[in-house]
Structure 1
Amino acid sequence: MVTFSDGERLLVNNSDLAGLNDAIVSESSERVYPKEYTEAIAAIEERHKQELERLSQELRIGLQSEATARAEAQVQEQIQSLQQLFKQQKEENIQLQQRLDEMEGLRKLEIENQQLQQRIQELEHAVEQRPSQQWGNTMTQQATKVLNKQVKQALEKTIDLRSLAVEPPKENAQECLRLMGMALKNLASAMNNTQALEAAALILGSEPTPIAIAYRAEQLEMLPQAVSDIRRVLSKPGCTWQEFLNVAQEYEVIKQDYWAELTSEETNLITALQSVSSQSDTIGLGSIVAHADPYRTLYVERGEVVEDLGEEVVVAWDCWKEQSKKTDRYFRDELRFWQPQ
């Protein structure tokens, strides 16, 4: 298609235009697409561009993650190496401390040996300065102090609080243990020492608490008076089981304690009085009784026959003293002689 200068357009073969190239104005060879195609192509190009950017960003992130992982692995290896080094240094420090403790112990032993040597020299010098006739079988005050110190150290090493609690000393045993227990209790309170508190509880026979130990100490304070009262009633001519019970029931809470303080003759006398009392078949005026039915609460309670009605008796129960009804009537076969639990 050729457009002439006057605007006319004719279809001409290319061969006919061979000599007229300079005068020909050809149309542009660029292709022109419809608008919807152009927009679609632009959208595709934009998506390709975004995809390239995303892939580029993922590549950068992947490279950074890999570098971070390698760095973390290196840091972890360094931490493990430092921990191992710290462990080795700690073991070396422990060994060094043990060596220092051993050296300190040797140094103390050397000082003690020097002190002992000096003491021996002082004693030898003191002996040389005194005539032999002034000595006889005596020792100087310095020698006595040395001996007392050695005896005290030996006792401190041999006294075992647990063995004392199991087998107390023969002479004034309970009082000795009570005082020792109170001393340990005071020491535990002053120094907040749990072991001293447990030792005091073990000696006194109570729970390892300050309240229980104090309560037990109060009980043991009654022990000398209890032993004195019981021995006084046992020494009376014609002492009966009832007379003994009237005194013993006041110290029922420390029965085991005062029983351990009594002599074998005194305990045998108490057993004999109880045996004679239990052999009596007749419940009469003044008898100390309890209910014979083990399913009744009065089976373990203490009562006294205050009136004899023939076939029946009137009993005043100790547990009813604070109630409006203090007595009740029973047949004799409903009762039994009361025995301390």
Structure 2
Amino acid sequence: MLNLNKLFETIQKDIKNSKNIEELNEIRIKFLGKKGILTSYMKSLKNFSFEEKKKYSIIINQKKQDIINKINKKKQKLTVFFLEKRIKEETIDVSLPGRRTERGCLHPITYTIDYIKNFFSQLGFQSISSPEIEDEYHNFDALNIPKYHPARDNHDTFWFDENRLLRTQTSSMQIRIMKKEKPPMRFIFPGKVYRNDYDITHTPMFHQIEGLIVDKNINFSNLKWIIYKFLYNFFGEDVSIRFRPSYFPFTVPSAEVDIINVYGKPLEILGCGMVHPNVLNNMNINSNIYSACAFGIGVERITMLRYGIYDLRSFFENDIRFLNQFKYN
């Protein structure tokens, strides 16, 4: 036990000369661990007299606590040293611009639908979604489409069974809303529709937005004003628009609206007309008091015209290069 002072000097010297945290841990284990030198000294005190045991245990415990404090102090000093060294070696220029966060974008079809919904909301229209799986009554019967009409055939409509089908038009929501609401009313019905038709200008699934106004004294001039207002807003006031007579079982009179493209050729973009009195009467709306007009916009068509897209398939190919062009709309 006479060598305690020399031992403590050795420990302090080792702590002072340690160059990293690992060396400090080795010193701690060597002298203070369960099998360490100081621990073995404490165990050997059992062979001493009571007075010597008391004397040396106090000295050893005091020195032990002193060593622990010195180790912790040295550890803190080494931690700061290596942190400062790392900071110097890994200098960061905070004036440099950060990494650019890539911004996502809406699909052009989604953007066009949102644009249309926003435009018509400013005219007092409410936007309502509707079921894509319809029954024969809402999709055909209530819309004044006769049993013999070719639109009901398998070559034009996707049937699940004798009564259920994928809707061929969002006009079916007209029936549901007129049964539920009372005039006056203004609604648009955006959604997907399905027709058994696939070629260079048609796809079996496409998007349509139906518009409906039911009120007193609604006439074709009101309908034309709304359509002109929308098309001028969407394409610009220099766009060439043509109304031409057409036929739909659920409207009378009926018209189709064309946009004249840069080559002077017309391209149909929507159908419209005054809602047939039979349709109103089927919904218990007195056609002698109320009149209604409706229109159906082909979303893909007007999107292609607005952005100069020539291939309808581009909308469905999930090509990120195509979608990135609409990042800043």
TM-score w.r.t. the length of structure 2 is 0.20
TM-score w.r.t. the length of structure 1 is 0.20
Higher strand content, 1 or 2: 2
Higher relative contact order (CA 8 A, sep 6+): 2
Larger CA Rg, structure 1 vs 2: 1
